[in-house]
Amino acid sequence: MSLPTLTGVGRLTSDPELRFTQSQRAVASVTLAFNSRRLNKQTNEWEDGDTFFVRGTAWERLAENVAETLAKGMEVLVTGDLRTERWEKDGQKHERPALLIRSIAPNLAYAIAAVSKDAAGQQNGQSSQRATGRPQQGQTQRSRPASPPADDPWAVDAAKGYSDEPPF
**pLDDT per residue over 34-83, tens digit each?**
988 888 889 888 888 888 999 999 999 999 999 999 999 999 999 999 99
Torsion on CA atoms 156, 159, 164, 167, rounded to nearest 10: -10
| Residues 7/13, Cβ–Cβ less than 8 Å | no
**pLDDT per residue over 6-16, tens digit each?**
999 999 999 99
Degrees to nearest 5, angle at CA 30 with 27 and 33: 155
Domains of the chain: 5-116 (2.40.50.140)
164 has pLDDT over 90: no
